[in-house]
Structure 1
């Protein structure tokens, strides 16, 4: 099984902080696949998308590009759900 990878741009006001980070982690945790996220903008190494502290350390802000990678039985669904969450601006606005 190939891993799924996608690049997304954060468009919400606060980036991946506090509430958006919590929503991101909760969404990733619904899936069995391993999911990692890294900031292409900051050049960070990939971190576990299911760990709130790891996600917060990315320092991802509005306009930053993130790379999401999922590997496992439901990787396509995991990537689709996270991409949709980010593109919906985490329900802001």
Structure 2
């Protein structure tokens, strides 16, 4: 279903657990992973290729956590 409100909210909640700055790129559009509205503006559809950018002390841990969330399909069925 893409990056709609529920998964965007889960991603923001996860991003807030880290000090690293997380951003999501979809083509030439970039949004902060700390903003549900920003993520919604990306309008990323299922099957889109997204690039995750993490900068900061715990960037690697943040990337790993986001990867796990995506692989768990944002805990949706």
TM-score above 0.5:
yes
Residues 8 and 36 of structure 2 are in contact (CA less than 8 Å); yes or no, is this contact kept in structure 1?
yes
1:31 paired with 2:15, answer: no
Gaps of 5+ in 2: none
Structure 1 stretches of 4+ moved >4 Å:
none
Q: Does 1:86 align with 2:65?
A: no
Q: Which digits, 9 at most, give the CA deviation of each residue in 1:52-89, with x for residues without a partner?
A: 11011010111011100100010001000011101110
Q: Which has the higher helix share?
A: 2
CA distance in 2, matches of 1:18, 1:48: 15
- Larger relative contact order (CA 8 Å, sep ≥ 6): 1
State the TM-score, normalizing by the size of structure 2.
0.93
Alignment gaps of 5+ in structure 1: 1-13
What's the TM-score, normalizing by structure 1? 0.78
Matched, 1:68 2:52: yes
1:26-71 deviation per Cα after TM superposition (whole angstroms, max 9, x unaligned): 11111001110011xxx23321110111011010111011100100
SS in 2 for 1:35: strand
Match of 2:3 in 1: 16
Superposed CA RMSD: 0.9
